[in-house]
Amino acid sequence: MEDAEAIAQELSALGEKVRSLEERLADVEKVNAQLEDAALITSRALQEVSGHWDAVYEAMRREEKAHPEESSERDRAASKARREGR
């Protein structure tokens, strides 16, 4: 009878550990889902920002093609300002 009682106590302790692990696993799965959602939102935001920068660079290229002399002057002025520490 003592063996059966010891086994029952061990099974009870193991059952509590399993329940605790199941609860922790459920919490981890919730956090994982939240992280996946955040990653998706971040990815979409970065795509949007990238699209805006693409538009900026395209506008700059169009401006350079339309007014190449102004673009060169602007580039020289920017280089000079960097050299002079402005």
Residues with Cβ within 8 Å of residue 64, at least 6 apart in sequence: 71
- Tokens 């992280």 -> residue: 35
> Is the model's pTM score more than 0.75?
no
pLDDT digits (tens, 9 = 90+) for 7-19: 999 999 999 999 9
pLDDT digits (tens, 9 = 90+) for 52-71: 999 999 999 998 888 877 76
Specify the pLDDT at position 86. 60
- pLDDT at residue 44 tops 70: yes
